[in-house]
Amino acid sequence: MSLQQTTEQRRAARAWSNISAIKGQDYEGRYGAVAKKFPALVLTNGLGQALAFLRAKNKPQHRAFYKHVSSWVTAQTYGIEGDDKLLERLIGAAPGYESSSDIYRRATTETLAFINWLKRFAEAELEIEEGED
């Protein structure tokens, strides 16, 4: 088994766990809609802007999605488990952490890879509501 397969399996397992936690919540359909739209938001506006959008919306589906993405990507990019302050770290606002274009690119790449799994599982497991972000 290659390192790439192991990383993909870990992404998939975390995404499955995240989607399983959302299933049955009253906002599961809206979470699914966020999962479907978020990759385009990242590619169009950049990771920082996309994360800021989630924080600004401040609805349960946006908070949950932000926490899922932020905690996974922070662990993968910065090596810090259980931390969901990705946006603060990327913009250099987290004490003791400087950001760089290399870190930003790595975080963006990891985010897109992880949300691909979130999106797949959301489409498979959740009743997605169309039309609302």
Angle between helices 3-22 and 101-125 (to 10 degrees): 60
> What is the structure's pLDDT at 93?
74
> What is the structure's pLDDT at 131?
61
> What is the structure's pLDDT at 3?
63
> What's the mean per-residue pLDDT of the chain?
91
> What is the structure's pLDDT at 127?
87
pLDDT digits (tens, 9 = 90+) for 91-123: 887 677 767 889 999 999 999 999 999 999 999
Specify the pTM: 0.90
